[in-house]
A and B are shown apart, each in its own frame.
Chain A
Amino acid sequence: MRYKNLNRLLILTFFFFFLILPLGQILAQEDTLPPAPPTEVRASDTQNDNGHSITITWKLSGDDGAGKKDVVAYEILRSESPAGEFVVRGMVPAGNNTYQDRGAKEKEDKNYFHPYHDFYYKVRAKTLNSYSESGVAGPAQAYGQWFHLGKLPVFVGTLAFTIMVLAFISLARKGKKFYVRPLAGIDAVDDAIGRATEMGRPILYILGLGSAADIATIASFTILNRIAKKTAEHKTKIIVPCNDPIVMSVAQETVKAGYLDAGRPDMYQEENIFYITSMQFAYVAAVNGIMLREKTATNFYLGKFYAESLILAETGSVAGSIQISGTDEIAQIPFFVAATDYTLIGEELYAASAYLGREPLLLGALKAQDLAKAIVMISLASGAVAASFHLDFFLRLFTVQM
């Protein structure tokens, strides 16, 4: 019995030392063998950017998705000389053959990417236990492009629109009469001012919460100028509480110009165009108070509005004021439609300034917009029909790479 067990032990020892151990060593060696290296590594400036980035591409390792299939990732290494020290810049999972080495634009940033500077790259294919490196690629430099080719449609669109605007302005200056369809909200302006005059109460003009450079605010300035002129003619007080100091400054200039146009600069009172605060709801609380205390006969809400639109319009409604509103903020239009007497929807706000002003500059821009809309409508209809037949020509016309 004892000899039998001894025999078994000897057989097991034999297997362990002469079969299992060598086999394990062979397998372990196999596992630490480096994978096939990536090849055809190329480094070049990333196109259509402002510099500070180099794109590296390579051909996948023979062991990535093929061969031993043990490549798990690629590391991208960079150096400032071919023989210099390469440092890891990033890593991508197996199966990827491109990497963008990006850096910061600011010199103070520790990750600053020096433009117009030679860089060399290597790509390292990694398995769990080993790796292999490609040859050195480079030198490559990062530099910005003057023109983003992916944004060519924007350039063409801007150029075409500018030409259209200039052409229409020129025509308007030569005396060509342009038709602009009536806008109910604007037709009601005269009645609203007349009402305030008859009642002997002031008019409240709110420019919204936009900055002086917002298109809706700019359109509102033009309307304010016309309304200020009419209030000066009617000797009616106009109050313009502002949410932004720069908007207030422009509004003061606008109202003053309106009073000058009406030939009544003496009636202009700068203190009626004032700044309250830039905080949204504090501003609303103050304007609501003004509405009730001054008992404004007419309220204009023209410009950029956000969550305060309904609060303002509801208070004005409770106060019994005639209210004319207009904004290009789509989410706020429903509230104005519900709570004010007349609403200028979106682009009607821009058209209103041209309609009221009848100035060649504004009319020209409005006509150019209409022509642009006609082109868009034709492209839209043609594009939808073409898309039904799997033709993407029209789609490509409007595709912009960001």
Chain B
Amino acid sequence: METIGIWIAALLTLGIFSFLYKDNPFYKFCESLFVGISAGYWFVTTFWQVFMPKLADNLVAGRLYYIIGGVFGVLMLLRLFPKIGWLSRWSLALVVGTTAGLYFTRYLVSNGMIQVQNTIIPLYVKGNLSQTIGNLVIVIGTFSGLIYFFFSKEHKGAFGGLAKLGIWFLMLSFGASFGYTVMSRMSLLIGRMDFLLGTWLGLIR
């Protein structure tokens, strides 16, 4: 049974890899299988991990106020009926508005307050040249980066120069991030190759 599983996994992996050559029926089959299984899997997962514990179980336990969430869920399903489909906008408005509001303070803290807090550092550290340089890079990089993202003024003159410096800092960090992520993707590829050549074909141990 395990051998059959390995063979299926290997053939499907090759099917997805075949897209590197060009679109073909083998890829189309693998794609449809992948999409179909994943959609079905997500439906079952959502039913058992969201609908049952978060709504049905609570209603059965007598917590009737959960019916409010249930009603909004039903409103979403009304999209299936064009004449009353507009009612689903109430649910959408609730989901988008509430979550955006909740995210606001979270982002303000994580992307605003904490970032600023970590950038308010001494520009000069007595007797420690490397830390002084490091701190200067952080402060100047953050400052010029913020100027790049200032949209109310045209990037000209000294302001434009600082904005250009900001984009240099951004591109340098993007370059580092690119290299780092490519390396992690290589490890994924190695993992797949290890499966194909080792687990499936037994060519490497």
Given contacts A377-B147, A380-B139, contact A289 B28 (CB under 8 A): yes
Contacting pair B174 A337 (CB below 8 A): yes
Contacting pair B151 A370 (CB below 8 A): yes
Give, as a whole number of angstroms, the nearest-CB distance from A94 to chain B: 34
The answer to the question of B52 belonging to the interface, with a C-beta cut-off of 8 Å to chain A, is no
Give, as a whole number of angstroms, the nearest-CB distance from A361 to chain B: 13
The answer to the question of B34 belonging to the interface, with a C-beta cut-off of 8 Å to chain A, is yes
Contacting pair A213 B103 (CB below 8 A): yes
Contact among A253, A286, A334, A351 with B92 in the assembled complex (CB-CB below 8 Å)? A253
Q: How large is the interface on A (under 10, 10 to 19, 20 to 34, 35 or more residues)?
A: 35 or more
The answer to the question of B71 belonging to the interface, with a C-beta cut-off of 8 Å to chain A, is no
Contacting pair A285 B30 (CB below 8 A): yes
A window 346-400: CB within 8 A of B: 346-348, 351, 355, 366-367, 369-370, 373-374, 376-377, 379-381, 383-388, 390, 394-395, 398-400
Give, as a whole number of angstroms, the nearest-CB distance from A121 to chain B: 33
Q: Which residue of B lies closest to A213 (CB)?
A: B99
Give, as a whole number of angstroms, the nearest-CB distance from B40 to chain A: 9
A window 325-351: CB within 8 A of B: 330-331, 333-335, 337-338, 345-348, 351
Contacting pair B112 A157 (CB below 8 A): yes
With a cutoff of 8 Å between Cβ atoms, the chain B residues found around residue A91 in the complex are: none
- The number of residues on chain B lying at the interface, defined by a beta carbon within 8 Å of a beta carbon of chain A, is 63
The answer to the question of A39 belonging to the interface, with a C-beta cut-off of 8 Å to chain B, is no
A278 to B49, CA, bound (A): 15
Contacting pair A285 B16 (CB below 8 A): yes
The answer to the question of A7 belonging to the interface, with a C-beta cut-off of 8 Å to chain B, is no
With a cutoff of 8 Å between Cβ atoms, the chain B residues found around residue A164 in the complex are: none
The answer to the question of A181 belonging to the interface, with a C-beta cut-off of 8 Å to chain B, is yes
Contacting pair B38 A334 (CB below 8 A): no
The answer to the question of B23 belonging to the interface, with a C-beta cut-off of 8 Å to chain A, is yes
With a cutoff of 8 Å between Cβ atoms, the chain B residues found around residue A374 in the complex are: 150
Give, as a whole number of angstroms, the nearest-CB distance from B53 to chain A: 13
With a cutoff of 8 Å between Cβ atoms, the chain A residues found around residue B187 in the complex are: none
Contacting pair A218 B23 (CB below 8 A): no
With a cutoff of 8 Å between Cβ atoms, the chain B residues found around residue A215 in the complex are: 100, 103, 107
The answer to the question of A153 belonging to the interface, with a C-beta cut-off of 8 Å to chain B, is yes
Give, as a whole number of angstroms, the nearest-CB distance from A371 to chain B: 8
Contact among A289, A345, A380 with B27 in the assembled complex (CB-CB below 8 Å)? A289
Main secondary structure of the interface of A (DSSP, over half): helix
Q: Which residue of A lies closest to B139 (CB)?
A: A384
Contacting pair B30 A384 (CB below 8 A): no
Given contacts A385-B123, A388-B123, A398-B117, contact A367 B34 (CB under 8 A): no
Contacting pair A346 B154 (CB below 8 A): no
B window 92-114: CB within 8 A of A: 92, 95-96, 98-100, 103-105, 107-109, 112-114
Given contacts A212-B96, A246-B92, A335-B181, contact A346 B149 (CB under 8 A): yes
Contacting pair A398 B28 (CB below 8 A): no
With a cutoff of 8 Å between Cβ atoms, the chain B residues found around residue A387 in the complex are: 120-123
Contacting pair A373 B95 (CB below 8 A): no
Given contacts A158-B105, A331-B177, A381-B143, contact A370 B117 (CB under 8 A): no
With a cutoff of 8 Å between Cβ atoms, the chain A residues found around residue B9 in the complex are: none
Q: 1/0 per position for B4-45, CB-CB distance to A under 8 A?
A: 000000000000100100110001101100110111011000
A277 to B122, CA, bound (A): 50
Using A211-B99, A400-B113 as known contacts, list a sample of 16 further A-B pairs with CB atoms less than 8 Å apart, ordered by residue number in A.
A153-B113, A158-B104, A181-B153, A181-B155, A212-B95, A278-B42, A286-B34, A334-B174, A334-B177, A334-B178, A370-B150, A373-B146, A374-B150, A377-B147, A380-B119, A385-B123
Query: 28 interchain pairs (CB within 8 A)?
Result: A154-B108, A157-B113, A158-B104, A179-B152, A181-B153, A181-B155, A212-B95, A213-B95, A213-B98, A215-B107, A218-B100, A249-B92, A252-B79, A276-B39, A286-B34, A289-B27, A345-B170, A348-B149, A370-B151, A376-B116, A379-B120, A380-B120, A380-B142, A387-B121, A398-B113, A398-B116, A398-B120, A399-B113
Binding site for B on A (CB under 8 A): 153-154, 157-158, 161, 178-181, 211-215, 218, 246, 249-250, 252-253, 276-279, 281-283, 285-286, 288-289, 292-293, 307, 310, 330-331, 333-335, 337-338, 345-348, 351, 355, 366-367, 369-370, 373-374, 376-377, 379-381, 383-388, 390, 394-395, 398-400
Nearest first, the 8 A-B pairs at minimum CB distance are A213-B99, A279-B38, A383-B120, A334-B178, A282-B38, A334-B174, A277-B39, A388-B122
